[in-house]
Amino acid sequence: MQQRKMGADGPLISALGIGAMSFTDVYGPTDEAQSFALLDAALEAGVTHLDTANVYGRGRSETVIGNYLAARGAGTRERFHIATKAAIRAEDGRRWFDNSPEYLESELDKSLKRLGTETVDLFYVHRRDPDVPIEDVTGTLARLVESGKTRAFGFSEIAPSSLRRASAVAPVASVQSEYSLWTRGPELGLVQTCAELGTTLVAFSPVGRSMLTDHPIPKERLGECALLPEMPRFQEPNYAANMAIADEFRALAAEMGLPAAGLAIAWLLAQGEHIVPIPGTRSVDHFKEFVAGTKRALTPEDLARIEKVLPVGWAHGERYSKAQWVGPEIY
């Protein structure tokens, strides 16, 4: 497995991680046995980075990981690089973001308990509260590092300008953002700023929420997924248009001897040594398709062929609905 640094002075982690939202029912029914099988496959493949959050299944994702570490015994925790997140709050039908020191630390404490560990390797602010200066939030995160509860910190879905402000206070190990052939927005400055500052760009939804795979979620099953029905790209007429274009990518991947998901991962890894994709899945077979992408170094000619099939801006529809856009920084 390829290795990449987490942050400018951080540890080496696997170039491929696992997005652990899939350990919940967000993308369809799953259970602990499936998640355990996936984690076993990860260790076998040399995949060490796990990316979870307190809100994934209201703690279920973290609990599954904690149960796995306990079940597999001594030494298992040290084989993984574990990241979690906090800041999203919901109560009585209301949703907001809390970046206060008290809330972030209390949620991290709860995460540590569910994970069954004394420290995480990375703790993100899941969403910025625009009313709190990012310099203040960075100070809070730096103090959590000093406390020993996390070894490093990062932010999710922030703008390049916010990253620069935070990095002026303390080193930011990682920024998590949606990035793939389906979503190229980070190329408008985030990819470049992360590279300049030594910040790892952790790319979530790297296979376009299944659209860049050989088994995209069919229209009749979209209702099984909590997020997708709201997303404009999965609503008609966008869904049909996106499926038709992505069919060309699937055909290209087959011609190049890779699963479509593997080619999507290989493309991301070719965009910079500081990029770590974190696909999620409930299937070991699908996971192996992601791993296949880490074993293929794409040539300039390969990249040109992919760009011809999926040029920048090919996707029909916005990636988020109006409600889902509340929180991510637009730049």
Catalytically annotated residues: 56
Instruction: Residue 12: count other Cβ atoms within 10 Å of its Cβ.
Output: 12
Sign of the torsion angle spanned by Cα atoms 282, 115, 1, 305: positive
- Please tell me the distance from the alpha carbon of residue 140 to that of residue 301, in angstroms, as a whole number: 46
- Please tell me the distance from the alpha carbon of residue 283 to that of residue 256, in angstroms, as a whole number: 23
- Please tell me the distance from the alpha carbon of residue 172 to that of residue 194, in angstroms, as a whole number: 9
Q: Tokens 């992408």 appear where?
A: 293
Q: In Å, how far are 54, 78, 105, 109 from 149, measured between CA atoms?
A: 15, 15, 9, 8
- Please tell me the distance from the alpha carbon of residue 169 to that of residue 187, in angstroms, as a whole number: 24
- Please tell me the distance from the alpha carbon of residue 248 to that of residue 246, in angstroms, as a whole number: 5
Q: Are 139 and 168 in contact (CB under 8 A)?
A: no
Q: Are 41 and 14 in contact (CB under 8 A)?
A: no
Identify which of 230, 237, 190 has the alpha carbon closest to the alpha carbon of residue 319. 230
